[in-house]
Amino acid sequence: MIPYSVLDLAIITKDSNAKEAIKNSRDLAVHAEKLGFNRFWMAEHHNMKHIASSATSILLANAAAATSHIRIHR
């Protein structure tokens, strides 16, 4: 089987905020793990109005706390 991964940016959508984007990223990691994905990656971007992933270490720790076996990377 080919190992699949997910790459996330913690995007802040219209009528949303950073807190919701971070929760959505955590939920995505949990869902990816349930679907059997191998890795959850998060891209780091700074000074971008609609991206909440400027501190990937913290966001990935949040995702890791909600999952049990998916590999977490930045």
42 phi and psi angles, rounded to 5 deg: -135, 125
Q: Which two tokens stand for residue 41?
A: 């990656």
Domain total for the chain? 1
Domain hosting residue 15, numbered range: 5-73
Taking only the tens place, the pLDDT of each residue in 8-67 is 999 999 999 999 999 999 999 999 999 999 999 999 888 888 999 888 999 999 999 999
Provide the 10 A C-beta neighbour count for residue 39: 14
Would you state the pLDDT for residue 73? 87
pTM of the model: 0.90
